[in-house]
Amino acid sequence: MIKLVGVYESTTKHKKLTALFNVNDKLKKVNFGSKNSKTYLDHKDPIKRENYIARHTALGNEDYNDPLSPASLSMFLLWGNHTDLQMNIKDYINRFKL
C-alpha cells in the first residue's frame, strides 16, 4: 500500500522537490524536478507545458504509471493540469488512488 505523506522543498542540491511516501509502513523519499528549471507552476505557459509533455513522452523511456518514479512526479505535479501545486497533488492522489 502506498500513501503520499507530503511534498516538500528538496534538500538535495540539484532537485526542486521531495515527495515523501509511506510504502507498506516504510517511509520513502523521492527527489524530483531540476532546481534550476522553470516548470508550468512557475511560467504558467500552456504551450511550454504541451511541449514538455510531448518531448518527454516521445522519449518512451519513463514509466509514468509508477507513482514513485521521479518522472511521474515531475509530469503530474510540476507539469500537471493546474498552475497550483496543491491542485496537482490532489489530481495525482486521485490518478494513482493513493
Q: How far is CA 43 from CA 5, 50, 69, 83, 87, in A?
A: 27, 13, 24, 9, 16
| The predicted structure's pLDDT at residue 12 | 95
Q: What is the pLDDT along the chain (98 residues), one digit of tens a residue?
A: 999 999 999 999 999 999 999 999 999 999 999 999 999 999 999 999 999 999 999 988 888 999 999 999 999 999 999 999 999 999 999 999 99
Longest dimension (CA), the chain: 40
Q: What is the per-residue pLDDT for 61?
A: 83
